[in-house]
Amino acid sequence: QVQLVESGGGLVQPGGSLRLSCAASGTIFSANAMGWYRQTPGKERELVASISSGGITNYADPVKGRFTISRDNAKNTAYLQMNSLKPADTAVYYCNAVFIRAAYWGQGTQVTVSS
């Protein structure tokens, strides 16, 4: 069993930056992929970014060039650096870890981009 805890969300002005962290209770070394998703009321949860065990990254078009996903296996932590934030980035952000036999989600952290 792996527990994921997100942190780093909050209120930021347009154009600002935030770094989200996802701390795992167990090792993420064997995770096939780590990902960040986001969800707004009335909409489905959508993929923001993912990173494979080999470090290959994938980004949703709206965040390309602004967000960077990374993982530190030694610290069992994944990160999402978000720059040039826009009001459209406002959402609850969730961390996800995919293993061979199971997938896990964090509880989410709120990101609000507003002046």
Instruction: Tell me the torsion sign for CA atoms 57, 59, 65, 70.
Output: negative
Question: What pLDDT, on a 0 to 100 scale, did the predictor assign at position 104?
Answer: 93
Contact 92, 39 (CB under 8 A): yes
Quickly state the pLDDT bin for 26 (edges 50, 70, 90). confident
Give me the mean pLDDT over the 39-55 stretch.
95
> Would you give the distance in Å from CA 49 to the centre of its chain?
7
How far apart (Å, rounded) are the C-alpha atoms in residues 86 and 71?
Answer: 24
Quickly state the pLDDT bin for 73 (edges 50, 70, 90). confident
Strands 46-52 and 18-24: unpaired
